[in-house]
A and B are shown apart, each in its own frame.
Chain A
Amino acid sequence: MPKVKINDKEVEVKDGTLILDAAKEAGYIVPTFCYQADLSSLGSCRMCLVEIKGQRKLQPACITPVLDDMSVETNNETVSSARSAMLEFLLSNHAFDCPVCDKAGECELQDMVHKHGPHKGRHAEPKHSFHNKDYALNAVIVKNSNRCVQCQRCVRVCEEVVGRGVLGSIGRGHIQEETSFLRTYLDCDHDGMCIEVCPVGCFMRRPYRFKARPWDLKSTKTVCPYCATGCRMTIQERDGEVVRSIAMPEDGFNGKMMCARGRFGYDFLNSKGRLTTPLIKNKDGVHEPISWDKAIDIIKTRFARTAPEKIGAVASARLTNEALYLMQKLMRDVVGSGNIDSSSRWNHSVVEGFVQATEIPKGGTSIYDAMDSDAIFVLGTHVSDENPVTDYVIRNLAAANRKSVFVATPRAMKLDSSAQMVFRYKPGRLAAMLGAIVGKFQETRGDKLSSVKGLSPTLSKDLEELSKASGISLDDIATLVTRLNISEKITLMAGTELLRGGDGIKGLGLLRDTLRALGKEVLVMPILDRSNQRGAWDMGINPVFGPGYAPVEGKWKGTEEMLEAALDGDFDVLYVLGEDIQSMFPDRSFATMALSKLDFLVVQAAYMNETAKMADLILPGGSFAEKHGNYTNQEGRVQAITKLMEPPGDGKTDLDIIWLIGSALDSSFGPNLPREVFKEIQSKVDMYSEVEPTGFISADTGEEPVYKFDFKEALVGSGSVELLDVEAKDAEIKIGTDGDHPFMLLTGNHLFHSGVMSMQSELLKGLLGKPIIEMSALDAKELDMNIGDLVTVRGNGFEADFVLRIKEGTPRGVIFMPENYQEIAVNKFYERKTGIPGVNVTAQRG
């Protein structure tokens, strides 16, 4: 390890360390513009010039690695004057319009000049002006190139992290401009990464334009409420209006990364559609306000007079751990019912298998540890659309560290371009593909696999059949098996495609155990699409397991069984927290019928939704910005959300409402402060006993902990409970295509959306535009359709109109439809028990 002297301090660093990082270790910060840790090196801005003893010219610290015995000066007079001169050059063409620049007050150039000078420029030449007026690059980016310092962070981040590469450096020297192709409007991921990394006011947030100065803002550290990637972020408000959310590079595992939802979807907090008071349905079926006392009283009476087995609760996987824990405590300990579930989209039996296959009860896995594998196998998750930042991490780290990425999904996604191999298996046939992989291992190294539980000894005999069923050729399977064979450490990332119908759950477990039997280190990471899905499972929001995956006694119902019982007139009271069953249950008419048969439906929600419209009683719950608590992301990382403001009107937080109901029924219900509830969770749930949530103020010390990047103490531990004793089964996915309905309908989250919550954001709604479907170019050609055509999709007695998009990589016979539209209920195309519905598509000819 080389020893280097930085100024007067000697440090020993790893081979290949940059002078910049060595200096940091020695306690000296070298100023930079173009350097950014997770991007490729450029060394163009020359801000980081340092003096290396024995070399005549100054060298850029951000691209020069240290050598043994090197002696570096970072702060002497030569270096300082070079820095000042570099800044003078940057300023020679700078617009100097700080008074009207959104960046003023948090501008790296401003700060740098303030610190390193010069305070007077000598350039008298006319400045080059790129344009007179700022121009918009899309709905979220507004651009002023006259302020650019040409660091090209925007260009690199777009290519290397986001994977789009729609920005370029046009021109040379002082007339170089970082912008889109001919400055045209961009149809990109709208994640604003270019804005986040811009050191000056060149790329700016359009929705935040002229709204505030940084010092006017009140901020709180929190976690993005959309998907389970769980990006840490700061949301900021001015005069009661949330005006922006920014990443927290100093503390979140996500660094500066955020997606369109996280960065621009905050405006749902300012939505006018918030529920502000409890509402009861009167005799005419109209909702009218009542007081909290009366509302709680009605619930108390209903709960008291109904048999526990006819009461149930469905809670959203976006509630905090505290609220979820208290909810199951209310149901199990006070009401005496174990009819609890956390999603209306997938059946609880599938969840149990998934939890087992992904080994969630064994504790958390940092995504950085997961990425430190030789091979990363992403299967059954359209991570580019559902968990954009997870996609960024995979792309960026896999390229930087030369890791192999394999992708197996039924439809195309952006990550495909970063993968060594892409397996486009037939929808609903992941199980067959995984069977073929395991079968191939069995064929070649079968002697080693005797310990693998549940492995059919003759799987290798069915190879051809499995390959045919999955649509993946035997050659491709063999290549993958060879590649996995030469990998020591393998990460399997599995997600929502497995949960939607249970396809491939057993196969995932088999693959995991097979690889382990061959002596490989295997990590399994679930990829989930709701912010606290993993937390909800950890808290026992499931009819089969309680907090910490402890098995529960008795036979209880999940969402689907509760609705079935309701349809039979055998279920009376349903308490729905934050979930919209009507919009999300994969069979709309069944859900509507069942819900209407209920005796009493209570819906607790922040916004009026389709389920709430049917409710007998509506309780106004709080959004994530109005409460304290914790979310557990897909890695098992527990992170705090903190309160920024009060719920509007008479609204209360979910935790408070549950507590009010609980204490009305039982005066010794327990604590209601989030941190005290968390303490109770820590004492009752083994996995959480040692956790130090990122950013959480503990009840004992009252102090915010000091944390660092990728803070491992925030990962949940392994519980004392063994893996669930359920047999993971690969569900046979029924595919509903026939001669009249030739297309398989796949659904999932749109890149800009997550469930229906994001539809409360005007901005994200605007990005979504008209409802679309995606189809392969060949199918479109056969049907004589073009991009942008208006088409009608029919199936299950329902029809709706969409704009056609052609997506490269979409297999034939498949169409994709985002599930997020308010105006079109996608679940109307679904019929229960049919995993993948068949539909037909016809063009509307004018």
Chain B
Amino acid sequence: MLSDKAKKEIEEIHGRYHSRRSATMAAMQIVQAEGGHLTEADMREIAEIVGVNPVQVQEVGAFYSMYNVERPVGKYHVQVCRNISCSLLGAEHIIETLEKKLNIKTGETTTDKLFTLTTAECLGSCGTAPMMQINDDYYEDLTDAKVGEIIGKLK
């Protein structure tokens, strides 16, 4: 069930779009901000509110990497870019380091629900590769030491 607050917020943003369905992405963002990820029930409810089929909400959710569809994430969602530039400059190594540091495999969440580690396609910051995104922030020009420092600060 969506919270009343989320419902109210979605109702408010409708005015910004010329058709109801255009609010799909914004509505998903509002809901995800509350629960960290989107559940089946969330998507069904959003679909009903914006007047589309649930599968169309899932389509959007699956297309953009910032939505976590049916995938609970920890407090910090670490997404490491593994596209060409980052890979050439050692993204694989960065991922390995993170796996070791957090003691989880890619795609998993730490037992204390603090960190979730995933990989992402190009995040558009090739000039500062290798890089990663934690929640809404970019961490660039990564090295082993830098990764250790960042994670240490968050723990």
Q: Which residues of A contact B (CB under 8 A)?
A: 164-173, 180-182
Pick the interface stretch among B26-34, B49-57, B104-112.
B49-57
A-side contacts of B40, CB under 8 Å? 182
Interface residues of B in 70-97 (CB under 8 A from A): 70
B52, B55, B62: the one within 8 Å of A167 (CB): B55
In the assembled complex, the CB of B93 is this many whole angstroms from the nearest CB of chain A, namely 21
- A selection of 21 A-B contacts at a CB cut-off of 8 Å is A165-B52, A165-B53, A165-B55, A165-B56, A166-B55, A167-B55, A168-B53, A168-B55, A168-B58, A169-B59, A170-B55, A170-B62, A171-B62, A172-B62, A172-B63, A172-B121, A181-B43, A181-B54, A181-B58, A182-B40, A182-B54
B52, B53, B59, B121: the one within 8 Å of A170 (CB): B59
Rank and list the top 4 A-B pairs by shortest CB-CB distance, nearest first: A168-B55, A181-B55, A168-B59, A181-B54
B-side contacts of A165, CB under 8 Å? 52-53, 55-56
Q: Using A165-B52, A165-B56, A168-B56 as known contacts, list a sample of 19 further A-B pairs with CB atoms less than 8 Å apart, ordered by residue number in A.
A: A164-B53, A165-B53, A167-B55, A168-B55, A168-B58, A168-B59, A170-B55, A170-B58, A170-B59, A171-B62, A171-B63, A172-B62, A172-B63, A172-B121, A173-B121, A180-B55, A181-B54, A182-B58, A182-B70
Interface residues of B in 106-137 (CB under 8 A from A): 121
Provide the bound-state CA to CA distance between A554 and B51, in Å: 59
Provide the bound-state CA to CA distance between A181 and B63, in Å: 14
Q: Which residues of B contact A (CB under 8 A)?
A: 40, 43, 52-56, 58-59, 62-63, 70, 121
B-side contacts of A173, CB under 8 Å? 121
B-side contacts of A164, CB under 8 Å? 53
Provide the bound-state CA to CA distance between A211 and B40, in Å: 36
Also in contact, A181 and B53, with CB within 8 A (given A168-B58, A168-B59, A171-B63)? yes
Provide the bound-state CA to CA distance between A167 and B52, in Å: 12
Provide the bound-state CA to CA distance between A166 and B70, in Å: 19
In the assembled complex, the CB of A382 is this many whole angstroms from the nearest CB of chain B, namely 22
B-side contacts of A181, CB under 8 Å? 43, 53-55, 58
**Nearest A-chain residue to B65, judged by Cβ:** A172
A-side contacts of B55, CB under 8 Å? 165-168, 170, 180-181
Provide the bound-state CA to CA distance between A167 and B54, in Å: 10
Provide the bound-state CA to CA distance between A619 and B18, in Å: 64
In the assembled complex, the CB of A363 is this many whole angstroms from the nearest CB of chain B, namely 42
Q: Which of B55, B59, B70 has the most CB of A within 10 A?
A: B55
Provide the bound-state CA to CA distance between A308 and B52, in Å: 62
Provide the bound-state CA to CA distance between A169 and B61, in Å: 11
Provide the bound-state CA to CA distance between A295 and B52, in Å: 60
**Nearest A-chain residue to B43, judged by Cβ:** A181
In the assembled complex, the CB of A31 is this many whole angstroms from the nearest CB of chain B, namely 28
B-side contacts of A182, CB under 8 Å? 40, 54, 58, 70
Provide the bound-state CA to CA distance between A170 and B54, in Å: 12
In the assembled complex, the CB of A359 is this many whole angstroms from the nearest CB of chain B, namely 39
In the assembled complex, the CB of A125 is this many whole angstroms from the nearest CB of chain B, namely 15
Provide the bound-state CA to CA distance between A436 and B17, in Å: 37
Provide the bound-state CA to CA distance between A180 and B47, in Å: 14
In the assembled complex, the CB of A222 is this many whole angstroms from the nearest CB of chain B, namely 35
In the assembled complex, the CB of B19 is this many whole angstroms from the nearest CB of chain A, namely 14
B-side contacts of A172, CB under 8 Å? 62-63, 121
In the assembled complex, the CB of A640 is this many whole angstroms from the nearest CB of chain B, namely 40
A-side contacts of B43, CB under 8 Å? 181
Provide the bound-state CA to CA distance between A181 and B44, in Å: 9
In the assembled complex, the CB of B66 is this many whole angstroms from the nearest CB of chain A, namely 13
**Nearest B-chain residue to A165, judged by Cβ:** B53
Provide the bound-state CA to CA distance between A180 and B40, in Å: 13
Provide the bound-state CA to CA distance between A173 and B65, in Å: 13
Provide the bound-state CA to CA distance between A170 and B59, in Å: 5
Provide the bound-state CA to CA distance between A168 and B70, in Å: 16
In the assembled complex, the CB of B120 is this many whole angstroms from the nearest CB of chain A, namely 11
**Nearest A-chain residue to B40, judged by Cβ:** A182
**Nearest B-chain residue to A177, judged by Cβ:** B62
In the assembled complex, the CB of A135 is this many whole angstroms from the nearest CB of chain B, namely 15
Provide the bound-state CA to CA distance between A172 and B121, in Å: 11
Q: Which of A164, A169, A173 has the most CB of B within 10 A?
A: A169
B-side contacts of A166, CB under 8 Å? 53, 55
A-side contacts of B56, CB under 8 Å? 165, 168
B-side contacts of A180, CB under 8 Å? 55
A-side contacts of B62, CB under 8 Å? 170-172
**Nearest A-chain residue to B57, judged by Cβ:** A181
**Nearest B-chain residue to A164, judged by Cβ:** B53
In the assembled complex, the CB of B123 is this many whole angstroms from the nearest CB of chain A, namely 14
Provide the bound-state CA to CA distance between A170 and B53, in Å: 13
Q: Which of B40, B59, B70 has the most CB of A within 10 A?
A: B59
Provide the bound-state CA to CA distance between A165 and B59, in Å: 12
In the assembled complex, the CB of A94 is this many whole angstroms from the nearest CB of chain B, namely 21
In the assembled complex, the CB of B44 is this many whole angstroms from the nearest CB of chain A, namely 8
**Nearest A-chain residue to B63, judged by Cβ:** A172
Provide the bound-state CA to CA distance between A169 and B121, in Å: 18
**Nearest B-chain residue to A172, judged by Cβ:** B63
B-side contacts of A167, CB under 8 Å? 55
In the assembled complex, the CB of B60 is this many whole angstroms from the nearest CB of chain A, namely 9
Provide the bound-state CA to CA distance between A268 and B55, in Å: 34
In the assembled complex, the CB of A825 is this many whole angstroms from the nearest CB of chain B, namely 36
Provide the bound-state CA to CA distance between A505 and B120, in Å: 64
**Nearest A-chain residue to B44, judged by Cβ:** A181
Provide the bound-state CA to CA distance between A180 and B53, in Å: 10
In the assembled complex, the CB of A137 is this many whole angstroms from the nearest CB of chain B, namely 11
In the assembled complex, the CB of B63 is this many whole angstroms from the nearest CB of chain A, namely 6
B-side contacts of A169, CB under 8 Å? 59
Q: Which of A168, A173, A182 has the most CB of B within 10 A?
A: A168
In the assembled complex, the CB of A842 is this many whole angstroms from the nearest CB of chain B, namely 30
In the assembled complex, the CB of A59 is this many whole angstroms from the nearest CB of chain B, namely 25
B-side contacts of A171, CB under 8 Å? 62-63
B-side contacts of A168, CB under 8 Å? 53, 55-56, 58-59
A-side contacts of B54, CB under 8 Å? 181-182
In the assembled complex, the CB of A690 is this many whole angstroms from the nearest CB of chain B, namely 47
In the assembled complex, the CB of A285 is this many whole angstroms from the nearest CB of chain B, namely 55
In the assembled complex, the CB of A399 is this many whole angstroms from the nearest CB of chain B, namely 15
Provide the bound-state CA to CA distance between A385 and B79, in Å: 49
**Nearest A-chain residue to B64, judged by Cβ:** A172
In the assembled complex, the CB of B115 is this many whole angstroms from the nearest CB of chain A, namely 24
Provide the bound-state CA to CA distance between A677 and B75, in Å: 80
Provide the bound-state CA to CA distance between A453 and B118, in Å: 76
A-side contacts of B58, CB under 8 Å? 168, 170, 181-182
**Nearest B-chain residue to A180, judged by Cβ:** B55
Provide the bound-state CA to CA distance between A165 and B63, in Å: 17
In the assembled complex, the CB of A826 is this many whole angstroms from the nearest CB of chain B, namely 31
In the assembled complex, the CB of B107 is this many whole angstroms from the nearest CB of chain A, namely 13
In the assembled complex, the CB of A716 is this many whole angstroms from the nearest CB of chain B, namely 41
In the assembled complex, the CB of A184 is this many whole angstroms from the nearest CB of chain B, namely 9
Provide the bound-state CA to CA distance between A449 and B43, in Å: 55
In the assembled complex, the CB of B4 is this many whole angstroms from the nearest CB of chain A, namely 22
In the assembled complex, the CB of A562 is this many whole angstroms from the nearest CB of chain B, namely 50
B-side contacts of A170, CB under 8 Å? 55, 58-59, 62
**Nearest A-chain residue to B70, judged by Cβ:** A182
In the assembled complex, the CB of A172 is this many whole angstroms from the nearest CB of chain B, namely 6
In the assembled complex, the CB of A271 is this many whole angstroms from the nearest CB of chain B, namely 35
In the assembled complex, the CB of A161 is this many whole angstroms from the nearest CB of chain B, namely 15
A-side contacts of B63, CB under 8 Å? 171-172
Provide the bound-state CA to CA distance between A482 and B63, in Å: 44
Provide the bound-state CA to CA distance between A181 and B43, in Å: 10
In the assembled complex, the CB of A715 is this many whole angstroms from the nearest CB of chain B, namely 38
In the assembled complex, the CB of B39 is this many whole angstroms from the nearest CB of chain A, namely 10
**Nearest A-chain residue to B52, judged by Cβ:** A165
In the assembled complex, the CB of A127 is this many whole angstroms from the nearest CB of chain B, namely 19
In the assembled complex, the CB of B129 is this many whole angstroms from the nearest CB of chain A, namely 20
